[in-house]
Amino acid sequence: MHSDRLAADVPAKMPQADKAHGFMMSRTYSSPGNFDCSIGRPMRLAEIFVAAEHALKKTISNPDLQKILSSVENFEQKYMELTKGAADNYHHSWWKRYGVVLDGEIAAVCFKRGNFDLAAKSYEKVCALYAGEGWEDLLAEVLPNLAECQKSLNDEAGYLSSCVRLLSLDKGLFSSKERQAFQSEVVSLAHNEMTHHVPLDVSSLITFSGNPGPPMALCDGDTGTLSVTVWSGFPDDITLDSLSLTLMATYNADEGGKLRNSNAIVLKPGRNTITFPLPPQKPGSYVLGVLTGHIGQLTFRSHSFSKGGPADTDDFMSYEKPTRPILKVFKPRPLADLSASISSALLINETQWIGIIAQPINYSLKGAVLHIDTGPGLMIEESHSIEMESYKKAGQGSVGTENSGEATKDSSAAAKDCSPATDKHFEQLRLVSSKIEFPDWASDVSSILWIPIRAIDDKLARGSSSGAPEKQSIVDRMRTIALKLEFGISRNQIYDTTIALHFSDPFHVSTRVANQSNDSTLLLQVVTLHSQLNATLSVYDAWLDLHNGFTHAGQGNGRPISAFFPLVISPTSRAGLLFCLCLEKRTAEDENKVPPENILNIRYEIAGDRTIGAHPPATMKSNENDEDANKNLVFRSTLVLQQPVLSPCLAVGFLPLPSNSIRVGQLVTMKWRVERLKDIEEKRVPQNNDKMLYEINANSDKWMIAGRKRGHVSLDMKQGSRIVISILCMPLVAGYIHPPHLGLPGIDEVSISCSPAGCHLVCVLPPAPSSSFCVPA
Amino acid sequence: MTTAACFIIVSRNYIPIYEAEVGSAAKREDAAQLPQFILQAALDIVQDLAWTTSAMFLKAIDKFNGLVVSVYVTADHILNISKPIHFLHFIIHTRFMLLHDSRSDDGIKSFFQEVHELYIKSLLNPLYLPGSRITSSHFDTKVGALARKSL
């Protein structure tokens, strides 16, 4: 039976080496040998020795056994052999615990003999079994012996590992002094020169976990500080020279970062809160990885999470709990937005306020810095401060204590926000090195920055002569302003944008001839002012600087009567001014000079709100009265004054077509009649012959001309003489098409009166339906 | 009446989950861990013996210097591993082990049975993780009372 096996096979095995001989086991089945000796008197020790030796030699016939029993060393040697054999057999038969008991015996004997190498190997087996099966009491008895062996063998890594394991055992197994001694061994070895730098696993002594609650949330590119709980099982404070913690992405083990705290950290026994600077991480979810660090020369690592937290935390009893995300980095998203407050045009060449709306999108703009860079043709008026105020959504305008432009009576009244907001802010900022710093109140609310700028355009505005306002090229009067917003915890977030600003003159000017006198010397020119701005314009004076053959009619200076002013023009509406002009005789010298342009000057005032559109220019701080300064705005524009055909010399008339309808493919004769109205002036027509050059122009895709398109005809020099020019042509396409046009290349256009005056259309019908059939021959 | 006894509950992973000194014998200072040492070594015998019988009370399985090891095994878990020919059953036990110095099988058996009931009640506690150490002071008190009553 197995009941006595333990007693028979296992001699006195002591858990501690110094107690190797302290406890003797009684052997149930061993019995002492019988000495056959007659005791007459007490024998001396030497006599007993000889008698015993003699008796053994008589009873033991095997010479090997005799040799074994002849000395303590031989006996121990044999004992060791038998014990080792028995241990191996037990291990082979899966009785590993019995085998380990014998390994313990072997280890104790080797340790006693000073054979530390063999002793360490055997003790490692014993410790491995006890540690693997959680018998900490037994481990606490054997592990110090193993540590002694490793220390004697200068096995630094093994010795340190054993010390850590001793410290990891239940605190009740060792006294405080003993545990402190273990710690001091570790620390002193760590600060000495170590032969081999092997990282020490302290997973059983130092554990870590994230703080309870939801994971730390960061936006992409943000830095932060991660707080981690580190549990120390050391009995005393221990100084860590550096500490690092790896982060692992939950969906990709290869992704992650390493957090370092290079400052010396003192870990107290129990719970410690350590903070790590967190550099920007890629978007994703992260869990804690491995904790590493240095104590002097010693590198240590721990990869176990805290299991022994206090009962009120989630970590309590969380043995197999899946790792909880500790950090969540969001995907890149818009964090802020900069936009212009208005899209309508501002006044060019005058100081205007532009509003830039800064809007945080679920992100704080605390400490943000805005860099402002104006493009070509745009400058910031540095004499004025930049104003910043809190901003509310459209419909309420800006909530400010001051509007730069005067609030005029009508149009801007609605733009005023009269409701007193409890959280309105207003601040004046200075531009330093092309940047401004956001105040703290603008961290989490939308705000609007008013920047005083001036768009510069040296070119004079040019009017048009047609009745409809000619659209100016947007690109000419467009300016850009580059904005770069730096924000975030370490100003790591950047928002770049370029805003296009539209500028315009207050008016676009167009002219037309309203009427003319019979002798064509007087012209009534209507100058139409088209308001280009979303603001009310009041005209106080207007005058023409005339050149190029025109002059004011009458005795006065041609200025409109002052009683007509002020002329108020609503936003984007039109007004007109009538000037009476007449032609001016020009001398021969004037003919050769390059005539200067005719310029319209308008003195006006603008009334608007910077929150809606153009507005009165931001005035400089001077003694000048603001009101007068606004009225001294002068707009200048060149004019195209029409000079109608006042004295035609020739008249060209298109004669009616022979039939009302012409068809495609039908030959039709087109006729023009040319009549001489009066004598022709020298410069315009060659006078010496009556030959007149004519030319017929037609779209070759639509007309086929059969005849001479160009040639000379004779027209008598007398007034009233006539000639008819005709040509045969055929329309090629159906529809309303322009007919061929008769031109007189040698004669100035202004001397020709055409009838009809402009292009006209003729109706061409499709070809007549036809039917035909082929008759075979 | 058993005078010296050490009672250990060993989980199916061979990890001691409960330990108690029962009986009135004084603890020897020079061999404080001897009971654990003996009981841990006896696990090999239990491992072999449990295969040979379906009984839960294995009685005295080992002896050491007048101290006897009595064992009681539970049938916690049955693993079936199928192979082409054989159908293997692995029965994983929780072991109640008592190191005592006198033989009183009836008393020991009743002690084991009542501790077994107590253990089952512990397993029914949803806050108790099976295989972890039993730290309940109530359990401790009850084991002591049962030992005084049965041993």
Mean pLDDT (chain A, rounded): 80
pLDDT grade for A56, boundaries at 50, 70 and 90:
confident
Q: Does A8 touch chain B (CB under 8 A)?
A: no
Chain A interface mutation, best of B14, B38, B40, B105, highest count of A Cβ atoms under 10 Å: B40
Chain B interface mutation, best of A1, A3, A27, highest count of B Cβ atoms under 10 Å: A3
pLDDT grade for A393, boundaries at 50, 70 and 90:
confident
Cβ contact (<8 Å) for B62 and A134? no
Do A560 and A577 meet the contact criterion of CB atoms below 8 Å apart? Answer: yes
The residue extents of the domains of chain A are 59-195, 201-309+320-330, 336-392+424-504, 514-585+596-612, 650-680+689-774
**Three-state secondary structure call for residue B137:** helix
Cβ contact (<8 Å) for B33 and A141? yes
pLDDT beyond 60 at A503: yes
Which chain A residues are within 8 Å of B31, Cβ to Cβ? 15, 19, 23
CA atoms within 13 A on the CB side of A606: 32
pLDDT score of A555 = 63
For the domain made up of A59-195, give the CATH fold: 1.25.40
CA-CA-CA-CA dihedral for B48, B49, B50, B55, to nearest 10 = 170
Cβ contact (<8 Å) for A94 and B61? no
Question: In sequence order, what E strands does B1-149 have?
Answer: 4-10, 16-23, 57-64, 67-73, 77-82, 87-92, 95-100
Cβ contact (<8 Å) for A15 and B37? yes
pLDDT score of A701 = 92
Q: Average pLDDT of A727-756?
A: 85
Query: In chain B, count of helices (H) and strands (E)?
Result: 3, 7
pLDDT score of A481 = 94
Nearest to A95 among B36, B44, B132 (CB): B44
Note which residues in 311-330 of chain A have CB less than 8 A from chain B. Answer: 317, 319
Q: Which of the 8 DSSP states describes residue A775?
A: P
CATH architecture, domain defined by A650-680+689-774: Sandwich (2.60)
Cβ contact (<8 Å) for A3 and B62? yes
Chain A: closest CA distance from residue B149 (Å): 27
As a whole number of angstroms, the distance between CA A103 and CA B1 comes to 36
In sign, the C-alpha dihedral spanning A74, A75, A76, A81 is: positive
Same-fold call for A201-309+320-330 versus A336-392+424-504: yes
pLDDT score of A325 = 87
Which chain A residues are within 8 Å of B44, Cβ to Cβ? 90, 94-98
Nearest to B30 among A5, A23, A319 (CB): A23
For residue A479, give the amino acid letter.
Answer: R
Using CA atoms, how far residue A396 sits from A338, A393, A406, A494, in Å, is: 19, 6, 18, 29
pLDDT beyond 50 at B83: no
pLDDT beyond 50 at A118: yes
Cβ contact (<8 Å) for B31 and A135? no
Note which residues in 198-257 of chain A have CB less than 8 A from chain B. Answer: none
Q: Does B63 touch chain A (CB under 8 A)?
A: yes
Q: Does B15 touch chain A (CB under 8 A)?
A: yes
Percent helix / strand / coil, chain B, rounded to 5? 35, 30, 35
pLDDT score of A524 = 66
Chain B: closest CA distance from residue A61 (Å): 32
Closest residue in A to B60 (Cα) is A3
Q: Does A96 touch chain B (CB under 8 A)?
A: yes
pLDDT grade for A594, boundaries at 50, 70 and 90:
low
As a whole number of angstroms, the distance between CA A280 and CA A292 comes to 21
Q: Does B14 touch chain A (CB under 8 A)?
A: yes
Do A243 and A264 meet the contact criterion of CB atoms below 8 Å apart? Answer: no
Which chain A residues are within 8 Å of B47, Cβ to Cβ? 94
Do A575 and A497 meet the contact criterion of CB atoms below 8 Å apart? Answer: no
As a whole number of angstroms, the distance between CA B62 and CA B41 comes to 10
pLDDT beyond 80 at A316: no
Closest residue in B to A14 (Cα) is B31
Q: Average pLDDT of A361-371?
A: 93
Q: Answer with the residue of higher pLDDT: A562 or B84.
A: A562
Q: Does B16 touch chain A (CB under 8 A)?
A: yes
Total CB pairs under 8 A between chain A and B:
77
Q: Average pLDDT of A1-6?
A: 39
As a whole number of angstroms, the distance between CA A365 and CA A388 comes to 14
**Three-state secondary structure call for residue A166:** helix
Chain B: closest CA distance from residue A160 (Å): 25
* Radius of gyration for the alpha carbons in chain A, expressed in angstroms and rounded: 55
**Three-state secondary structure call for residue A430:** coil
Chain A: closest CA distance from residue B35 (Å): 10
- A10 token code pair: 């296992």
Q: Sort A87 into a burial class: Cβ within 10 Å, 0-12 / 13-18 / 19+.
A: buried
Q: Does B37 touch chain A (CB under 8 A)?
A: yes
Cβ contact (<8 Å) for B30 and A19? yes
Q: Answer with the residue of higher pLDDT: A619 or A126.
A: A126
Nearest to A23 among B13, B31, B62 (CB): B31
Chain A interface mutation, best of B13, B44, B69, B99, highest count of A Cβ atoms under 10 Å: B44
Which chain A residues are within 8 Å of B14, Cβ to Cβ? 133-134
Q: Answer with the residue of higher pLDDT: A381 or B86.
A: A381
Chain A: closest CA distance from residue B32 (Å): 9
Residues A403-432: tens digit of each pLDDT: 444 434 344 333 444 333 456 789 999 988
As a whole number of angstroms, the distance between CA A642 and CA B148 comes to 130
Closest residue in B to A131 (Cα) is B15
Cβ contact (<8 Å) for B49 and A26? no
Q: Does A22 touch chain B (CB under 8 A)?
A: yes
Using CA atoms, how far residue A495 sits from A86, A289, A305, A370, in Å, is: 78, 34, 40, 9
Chain B: closest CA distance from residue A148 (Å): 20
pLDDT score of B3 = 61
How large is the ipTM?
Answer: 0.85
Q: pTM to 2 decimals? A: 0.61
CATH architecture, domain defined by A201-309+320-330: Sandwich (2.60)
As a whole number of angstroms, the distance between CA B80 and CA B99 comes to 33
Q: Answer with the residue of higher pLDDT: B143 or A212.
A: B143
Cβ contact (<8 Å) for A319 and B132? yes
Residue holding tokens 């944008």?
A: A497
pLDDT score of A172 = 87
Chain B: closest CA distance from residue A140 (Å): 9
Chain A: closest CA distance from residue B43 (Å): 7
Note which residues in 116-145 of chain B have CB less than 8 A from chain A. Answer: 127, 129, 132
Closest residue in A to B47 (Cα) is A95
Q: Answer with the residue of higher pLDDT: A38 or A695.
A: A695
For the domain made up of B5-150, give the CATH fold: Beta-Lactamase (3.30.450)
Q: Which of A233-242, A565-574, A628-637 has the highest mean pLDDT?
A: A233-242
Nearest to A138 among B33, B64, B65 (CB): B33
Nearest to B65 among A13, A25, A138 (CB): A25
Residues A220-269: tens digit of each pLDDT: 888 889 999 999 999 999 999 999 999 888 877 677 788 888 888 999 99
Closest residue in B to A19 (Cα) is B30
Chain B: closest CA distance from residue A82 (Å): 19
Sequence-distant (≥ 6) Cβ neighbours of residue A320 within 8 angstroms:
none
**Region class of A220: left (phi > 0), else alpha (psi between -120 and 50), else beta:** beta
For the domain made up of A514-585+596-612, give the CATH fold: Immunoglobulin-like (2.60.40)
Q: Residues of chain A with pLDDT > 70: what percent? A: 76
Which chain B residues are within 8 Å of A96, Cβ to Cβ? 44
pLDDT beyond 70 at A590: no
Closest residue in A to B39 (Cα) is A97
Nearest to B63 among A3, A96, A135 (CB): A3
pLDDT beyond 50 at A156: yes
As a whole number of angstroms, the distance between CA A49 and CA B91 comes to 58
pLDDT grade for B104, boundaries at 50, 70 and 90:
confident
Which chain A residues are within 8 Å of B62, Cβ to Cβ? 2-3, 5-6
CATH class entry, domain A336-392+424-504 = mainly beta
Nearest to B37 among A3, A90, A138 (CB): A138
